[in-house]
A and B are shown apart, each in its own frame.
Chain A
């Protein structure tokens, strides 16, 4: 028996099923990919921490090898963030709230163009132009601020230091942070902006009162995306940096980052050797660092949920 209630739109229902299956498989695919990468890294790094002929576990040896690279990676990314984040937020604000409408579009395009430059080009630029250009700066920093351990050691004569690498990374992550921030700044509800203006806020005060609180989560996401790129960037760092031992000085040659170490070492490591396992193992470490960074960002974003602009 059929009534008007039991009859349904068959085609609509089928479409609904197909679409829900599609989205489900897309979601599962991402998780599977992630799981396989994690599994590959874990299985293949076993040899780096366990060697029969060296008496079993050699975790200490591996950690001794890994920690300077971890610190180097963090330093380079940190420099990049310190330089890029404020500039990116400023540029995004200029585009969204200050620039005349005619200009804002073209400035946006130019910034996006920065993202289209291949990283090997950035590396070449950092190695052959930026590095040498920074040599006098390093000399000055060493002479005047040498008492700070960061500027202590002998200034590099080629300019190929962790600081130069950080600056190059900063330029590279500028576009991604800028475009994420710009998108979110533009979405600030007019209602909130006008609420601030009607109370007698200047433009900057209006931005502090309504744009930044609304965009907070977006700014953090943008910075984390940038950090993710900086942490994983290989080519540019491999070209710019002349790698060496861990040193506190930012202006001497030395230090290295995980991606650069892997890129430089992998072609020379025999397949199946302990060296290759070691390189894969630091890859796993980088994977975990990135995961941690992302989770921290999520946590920061979700902390004041009820105060967010979403409700």
Chain B
């Protein structure tokens, strides 16, 4: 399952500070959408508002509508916990639960839902999730070892396995490769290409080649200056953003003349 995301007039605040202003965009299902832009332009803040992780920080709030297949996730009756089971997230630094084994890490989301799994069911979930995360062959002999003993790239794929184990509709990735070496980055990028068949993938990246390699659509965010809100400048097919950008600032940024 994979759902589309529609954003209507979304403002994101930290207390009184307006961090992101006036976002309107439609994000396709079963596609990879990349968010690019300079540091501090609000792309991560916006990404975190897509699964209501933003409001974990004290004072953080959102105005506007965010529709998941037509349903507003900011409707007053909606529990953020439910939203997060449907919109999974992979973080900048790999964060497997350090006290859990590899197997337990993959099953962590199921445990939360209180699902009673038989041994064979859980074995199957662990195997399919780890296979989808291209990690199975590397860890199948040590499922009962701690997840923190893996390399950084393996840990990040373990986190992806943990996220897809609960079968979300949308997967958010916040610079998932920024702490990884080139080989691990390549493995994650290949994986993103495969995930797109089943999920809506939204990825924040600082690496423009990465955005060009993995995404079908790209959104460019920018700020007018320090203390000003971040805005969506241009959103289009990835090829269009990189080859024929309509805005001057987009062109400056993707060609490296940003300053």
Contacts and interface: CB of A to CB of B under 8 A. Distances in A.
Given A101-B58, A194-B91, A195-B159, A200 B113 contact: yes
Nearest to A311: B148
B224 interface: no
B99 interface: yes
A198 B89 contact: yes
A136 B93 CA distance: 58
A198 B99 contact: no
Contact of B56 (A197, A309, A311): A197
Contact of A198 (B51, B98, B146, B148): B51
A309 B85 CA distance: 25
B99 A200 contact: no
A200 B81 contact: yes
A194 B109 CA distance: 13
Interface string B156-186: 0001001100100000000000000000000
B113 A308 contact: no
B4 interface: no
A191 B95 contact: yes
Nearest to B79: A202
Secondary structure of the B contact surface, majority rule: mixed
B14 interface: no
Interface string B89-121: 101010111111000000011001100000000
Contacts of B91: 191, 194-195, 198
Decide if the interface of chain A is mainly helix, strand, loop or mixed. Answer: helix
B187 interface: no
A201 B56 CA distance: 12
Nearest to A193: B56
B97 A192 contact: yes
Contact of B163 (A189, A199, A209, A306): A199
A195 B89 CA distance: 8
A36 interface: no
A108 interface: no
A210 interface: yes
A183 interface: no
Interface string B67-85: 0000000000000011011
Contacts of B112: 196, 199-201, 205, 209
Contacts of A196: 97, 108, 112
A213 B93 contact: no
Contact of A191 (B81, B82, B93, B108): B93
B98 A197 contact: no
Contacts of A200: 81-82, 84-85, 109, 112-113, 166
Instruction: Give chain B's interface residue range (CB within 8 Å of chain A).
Output: 20 to 34
B211 to A, nearest CB: 22
A103 interface: no
A280 B155 CA distance: 56
B193 interface: no
A230 B112 CA distance: 38
Contacts of B88: 198-199
Nearest to B172: A198
Given A101-B58, A209-B108, A307-B146, A199 B98 contact: no
Interface string A166-207: 000000000000000000000001011011111111100100
A304 interface: yes
B208 interface: no
A151 interface: no
A25 B148 CA distance: 37
B99 A308 contact: yes
A241 B226 CA distance: 67
Given A200-B112, A200-B166, A306-B146, A192 B98 contact: yes
A122 interface: no
Given A198-B51, A200-B109, A213 B99 contact: yes
Contacts of A198: 51, 53, 84, 88-89, 91, 163
A163 interface: no
A90 to B, nearest CB: 21
A138 interface: no
B15 interface: no
Nearest to B99: A213
A5 B110 CA distance: 60
A199 B95 contact: no
B166 A197 contact: no
11 contacts: A191-B91, A191-B95, A195-B96, A195-B97, A197-B56, A199-B109, A200-B113, A205-B112, A213-B99, A307-B148, A308-B99
Q: Sorted from nearest, which 6 A-B pairs have the closest CB atoms? A: A200-B85, A213-B99, A198-B89, A191-B95, A199-B109, A200-B84
Interface of B: 51, 53, 56, 58, 81-82, 84-85, 88-89, 91, 93, 95-100, 108-109, 112-113, 146, 148-149, 159, 162-163, 166
